[in-house]
Each structure stands twice: as structure tokens, then as C-alpha cells.
Structure 1
């Protein structure tokens, strides 16, 4: 039994050696992988080719950033614009063709760590909008573990700048803090294709810095359109407006709002293609003029029109930010308000006069409206009580007069007697 076991071991060894011959060893990894940060949020990885590579090998490199965004290239570097608020790692390996073959090298990894600090001290709710292709306005909320009166510094950079700039136009809006800055014109006039790198920190550098990247094409807000003319064509309302400055006509969409004073209804009409087809405008320059025909409009009532605009995905990366509403313009017959104005003037006068009359004749009106009820007891008292009083008065007078007469008579009699005796 020992010989078959030895033969089986020898066969297995030969089979393993044969298998290694069919499957070559993996490709050697890249060397000297390193990482650096440029500007505010540009991370660059560089590496050297692997050692001991066959001259017949067409070196290719496969790389991943945080295990995603895989690319295959012959370059020995890779740059990415990423916010540095989290750990960023790149894995890179080498191989001899553009397909991921079985002999690809192991992946080398190099990471860059975020700044140290309290995450609750970093700013939140960062929002940036590119207003009318003119200036960028960013707003944010202070960190939860920071004082509301914290002083912040705002730095920004984009491809046409030679150095990082500090934003000076800081402002406060309610609980938000913000800063706005203008954009210098690109040489190729395609600034909307680039990103703006942002870093916000407090002036004393006690809070955790916050990094942000704004893709300009996804944060465009046009100025409100300007209504040029309103006119009626039978029961159709023709609306004309101008394209906001700095925008190409095909790059915007609109929404037209029509409010009717008679029906009290408001209708909104989305407009993607605002071409003017009315013959009366053929001689005018229609390059920046937009038109819409609104059907079933009552000319006998007052119609008020407003318009707003937004960038479309044909030219930009987002179509969710509407402009403010344009200044309203009205057309149609106004309701006759002269009678209402007269009534509004007369009614207060009448009310005031009525109040004065009521104040002057309130007592008389009270007597007329609520006459007094006679008191039977008082009537009987007047009938009988006064007579008893008069009778008693006369009785008292007779008794007094009688007493006075008697007393006088007695005095006279005594005096006469005295004279007679003498």
C-alpha cells in the first residue's frame, strides 16, 4: 500500500507544478503611492510604475476612490474634487491591458484624513446659488456647539483664479449667515462647467472647518422676466416677455400665471418653447422675445399676468430653482368703481350724522320709544293728600287766631278794671 500512496503524492505535486505554469503570478503593485491637497478640495494621488514589469506589457492602472468611481488609465496620477469633511481613500493597482485580468496586481491604498475637531461645531445647511450668471450667494447655519455671534471666514476658489480668495461680503439673514462674491469671466466663457471650492471656518479656528463644492450649472437662479406687452385677439390673450439678461433663449423655461378678476381664478401655464408666431411681430427682433397665447380669456374683466423662469437641463445641470415672479401687468376692463367709491364716502357720513342725532336726542328718543308708566299711588296721593294738608293748615290758623283774640281780650279787660278802681 505504500507504493500507490507515493505515486499519488508524486502525481499531485506534478499537477500543482503544472497548474502554476498555466496561471502566471499576479502583476507587481505600483510603488511610492502618495497623496496631496491643492487649492481647497482638490486631492491628487501620484504613484510610480511597478518594478520588474515585462517590456511587452502595456501598463494600465485601475483605481477606486472610496471603493467607487472606478477608472482605468495609463496615467500615473489621479485628481478629484472632493469635500474633505470625511476620510478619502484611493486604491490603485496595475495590469497589462485595459480589461481587469486575473493577473492584476494587488491594490495599494492611500488615504487623507479630515481635520480634527468637534463635528457639532461645524456649520450646517450650506446652500449656494448662482444668481443670473453674475454672482454666487452662499448661506449657512452656525454649528450647534458654537455661539450665534461667532465670526466666520469664507474662502473660495475656482479654475480661473490664481489663488484662494477670501469673501468679504459677509451678511446675516435671520438665523442664517452668508457671503456673496462675483465670478471673473473665463477665457472660454464656459464657467458654468466648473466647480467652486468653498471652506468655512470661524475666525479663531476653534470650530471644525467645513468644506463644500458647488457645481455652478446645478445652482442657477435667473432674474425675473420682464413683461413687454399684453394684447387681446378675440378671446385669446397674447403675452410677450423678454429673456432675462445673460441667458440664451433656449436655456430657460417659464411659467405664466393669469388671474381673472371676474371668475376669481388663477391659472398657470408651463412654457418650454416660447416662440413668437404672431405676424404683427415679424418686423421686430424676436431673438430675446418670448410669446404665449392664453386661450379662453374674458376681455370684459381685468386679467393680471405674472411670469417666472428657471434654467433647463438642456444647458444646465438642474431645473428646480425658479426665479422670483415678475412685476405684474394687467389688461382688460376694470369694474365700475365710481358707485362703490360714492357709497364708501356717503355711508360714513350717514353713520356719523346718525350718531350725532342719537347723542343729542337720546333722552327724547328714550321717552318716545319707552314712555313712562303712570303710578296709581302718586295719582291718589295728589288727589287726597293735598286737600288734607290744606284743611289742617286752615284748622291750625283758626285755633291760633282764636287764642290770640282771647289773650288780647283778657289784657284789655284787666287794664279797664285798673282804671275804674282808681
Structure 2
């Protein structure tokens, strides 16, 4: 019994000693790695500059490597930039080995960009180290009063063919009016709207007419004041045309019956430049309650109803760009209504016309047959009368016979 207890105590001591040795090795390794990492430092990029390229929102950020890079030529340097995404609340982070970076910004707000250096290689014992952030602010010159800015700015790419933008005017002086400028990649320089929509002689919209724009490419718009007039606070907008598209109305909505007595709706794609595979459709119906209800959203241009659910029902369809071709967009106007009750009445009238036609034909045949029968009877009657008169003549030759 004593031997077993002694062996157990020895094993516990060995286990505890092994645990302490293991901890010592692990902590020593971590300490060495941390010490080597801490000893290596890197400076942030130097001489950071921001340049406005004059394209209503495109800024170019340029910088130089940190001064300490002269002693770390064997290491690879990369740079990380972070900034707020246009029209969103989130921030975007980009890593690059180059010393220039272009991005779109909302110039109606102060632009804030952060940048730092990443270093990795033999000089850091293959550990990645980084510098502190450097924050650069690009102050946008704000002119005019905030009340002079436009409000409720909205653009619609109608049928993906014509672009129109509208807005509400702010508080303007007697010698002020709005001017819309726009630019898209591929243009040599920014352009100015040539066809304005006005209200009380104030520009409140722009019809771009036959101007052609590229889908899936940022369009930059600035609404500012006319040169030489009182200053107006500028407003900047950036969007892509496929995200503001409004398809045409689905055409030729028709209905047909299947052998199983179901109602099948069918329609044609709306006119315009939007491809058929980029469309989705919403189908609505209403019954005796007279409240429209959505029954389906789908990409096909046909839909089947069960007759039991379509008694006295009207349906309609509209279209919109689907998520595979657009981040957003507008629904088209509703198609003309197709009503099941009207369709049933039409079918009943069709059968009624057929029955009436058959009755008229049969009636005509009966009348013709009756007239033919009556005529034949008259002919036979005359023949019988003549035969009777001939018999009388034979009996009485002096009797005059006229047939």
C-alpha cells in the first residue's frame, strides 16, 4: 500500500514539473517574438497630398515612402488607406503597393482620409509591422448659404433610354439660378445641362435628351449657381444609371385557359434598352374586397392562376430591374387590368353566339323543309283533282274538264 502511494506522489511531482517547464518554454518563445516585433518600428507615409482632378468628385491621393525606409530596403512596404464610402455610412479600406490612389468622394462634405505603412520582410524577421495612422483632411470650399442648396434631388432613367433629373429649389436671391454640371468616365471634360425644366423661371430639373451614358459607370453631378450670380451652396451626387432605371409598361397582357381549367397570364417584355434577362415582374390581383394583393414576384413573363381562386378577379403586372443587373431602381407603371369576370363573360357570349347561330341554321332548314313539303302537297293535290275530273268525264262525257 505504501509503494502505491509513493508512486502516485512521484507521478504528480513529475507532472507538475513538466507543466512548469512547458509554460516556461511557451512564455519565453512569445516574449522573444514580441520583443523582436516591438524593437522594429516603421514611420507613416510622408508628404501626403490630395488633388482635385476637376471631375466633380474624383480626388487623387499621393504620398512618399517614410524616411525610415532607407534602412529597410530588404523589406516590402505596402500602404493602407481608409475613407468613408460615398452615399453610405461604412468605411472602405484599401491596401496598395503604389504611392497614388484615386477615388470618388462627396465634395459637399469634408473629406477625411487615413493612411499608414505596412512593412514585412527580413528586416522584421518576416513579421508584419505597421505605423500609426496619419489623418488627412481635404477641406471643400463651402460657398453660399446652406438654405440655397437644392432638396429632394431625384433622377430617373426612363426605359433605360432617357435621363431626367429634378429637384426642389432652395432659398435663392433675385439674381440667382441653378446650373447642373455632369461628368462620366470617357468625357474629356465636364459638361453643362442644355435643356432645363423650370418653375417660376427657376431651374428645377434637367432633361438630358439624346445624351448617351454608360451603364455600370459612375455619373457625377453637381448642382451649383450660375456664374456671375449670387453664390449658391453646391450639391454633389454620384450614382450609376442601372440603379435608377425605370422600365416601360409590360405589354399585351392576355389570358388563356388550360385543359385543367386554369387561367394562364402571359405578357411581353416592355420596350426599351433593358435586356429581358434583367427584368423581374410583380403580379397583383384583387377580388370582391377590391384591394390589390401581391401574389408573386418572378423573372418569367407568364403566371398561372387556379380557377377556384380567380372568381371575379382582376390582375395586373409591372416590371423592375432584378438584383442581378441593378442594386436598386424604380417599378414601371402598372399594365392594363385583366379581369377574370370579363373574360368569363366573353367566353359565355362566344358560346351563346355559336348556339344562336346553330339555332338560326336549324330554323332555316326547318322552314325550307316545310315550304318544300307544302309545295309538293299542292302539286299532288292538283294531280288528284285532275284524275277525279277524268273519271267524271268517263262517266259523263258531256261534262267539261279543265285541269
Counterpart contact for 1:89–1:109, Cα < 8 Å: yes
Match for residue 309 of structure 1 among 313, 319, 323: 319
Contact 1:257/1:306 (CA < 8 Å) preserved in 2?
A: yes
Q: What are the equivalent positions in structure 2 for 1:256-295 lying under 5 Å apart?
A: 256-259=283-286, 266-274=292-300, 290-295=301-306
**Cα drift, residue 89 of structure 1:** 1.9
The partner residue of 2:51 within 2, 20, 36 is 36
Give the deviation of 1:95 after TM superposition.
2.2
The 3 A distance-change label for structure 1 pair 28 and 21 is same
Scaled by the length of structure 2, the TM-score of the pair is 0.64
Alignment of 1:238-253 (within 5 A): 238-244=264-270, 245-253=272-280
Can you give the 5+ residue segments of structure 1 that lack an aligned partner in the other structure?
1-18, 275-289, 337-422
C-alpha separation in 1, matches of 2:37 and 2:239:
52
Q: Tell me which of 204, 210, 232 is aligned to 2:257.
A: 232
TM-score between both structures, scaled by the size of structure 1: 0.61
Check the 8 A contact 1:95/1:101 in 2, yes or no.
no
Deviation at 1:155, TM superposition (A): 0.7
Cα offset for 1:270?
A: 2.0
| Higher mean C-alpha displacement, 228-237 vs 34-43 | 228-237
Q: Distance in 2 between matches of 1:216 and 1:128?
A: 9
> 2: CA distance between counterparts of 1:264 and 1:235?
24
Tell me the residue number matched to 2:336. Answer: 327
Distance verdict in 2 for CA 1:132–1:205, change over 3 Å: farther
Distance 1:22 1:90, change over 3 A: closer
RMSD: 3.5
Look at both structures and tell me which one has the larger radius of gyration over its CA atoms. 1
User: 2-side partners of 1:110 and 1:333: how far apart?
Assistant: 71
Q: Deviations over 1:83-131 (max 9, x none)?
A: 1111102221212139997742233333221222321211112122222
Q: Secondary structure at the match of 2:277?
A: helix
Please report how far the alpha carbon of residue 81 of structure 1 lies from its aligned counterpart in structure 2 after TM superposition: 0.9
1:69 to 92, 96, 111: 92
Whole-angstrom distance in 1 between the partners of 2:187 and 2:281: 34
Trace 1:95-174 onto structure 2 (pairs within 5 A): 95-97=118-120, 103-116=129-142, 117-143=144-170, 145-146=171-172, 150-172=176-198
Q: Which segments of 5 or more consecutive residues in structure 2 lack a partner in the other structure?
A: 1-33, 85-89, 349-403
Residues 151 and 184 (structure 1 numbering): CA distance in 2 closer, same or farther, change over 3 Å? closer
Secondary structure of 2:39's partner?
coil
Q: For each residue in 1:172-218, what CA deviation from the matched residue of structure 2 results, as whole angstroms up to 9, or x when unmatched?
A: 479992112257667xxxx3321111100122251111111123332
The question of 1:94 aligning with 2:117 is answered yes
> For 2:310 and 2:91, how far apart are their aligned partners in 1?
61
SS state at 1:60 partner:
strand
In 1, Cα distance between equivalents of 2:163 and 2:198: 16
Q: How does 1:5-44 map to 2 (within 5 A)?
A: 23-38=38-53, 39-44=55-60
Question: Does residue 217 of the first structure (1) align with residue 221 of the second (2)?
Answer: no
Contact conserved, 1:235 with 1:298, CA < 8 A, in 2? no
Distance 1:308 1:156, change over 3 A: same
- Partners of 2:176 and 2:308 in 1: how far apart? 55
Q: 2:66 pairs with 42, 50, 59, which one?
A: 50
Distance in 2, Cα, partners of 1:105 & 1:93: 6
CA distance in 2, matches of 1:229, 1:105: 67
User: Any idea what SS the aligned residue of 2:215 has?
Assistant: helix
> Cα 1:220–1:97, aligned 2, differ >3 Å: closer, same or farther?
farther
User: 2:251, 2:335 within 8 Å by CA — same for their partners in 1?
Assistant: yes
Residues in 1 aligned to 2:322 and 2:37: alpha-carbon distance in whole angstroms = 57
Q: Are residues 240 and 149 of structure 1, via their aligned partners in 2, closer, same or farther at CA, if it must alter by over 3 Å?
A: farther
Task: Provide the residue aligned with 2:328 in structure 1.
Answer: 318
Contact 1:236 1:293 in 2 (8 A): yes
* CA gap 1:24/1:268 in 2 versus in 1, 3 angstroms: closer
Taking a change above 3 Å as real, the CA distance of residues 252 and 106 of structure 1, as seen in their structure-2 partners, is same
The CA distance in 1 between the partners of 2:230 and 2:183, in whole Å, is 20
Would the alpha carbon gap of residues 197 and 110 (structure 1) be closer, same or farther in structure 2, given more than 3 Å must change? same
Kept in 2, the 8 Å contact 1:128–1:214? The answer is no
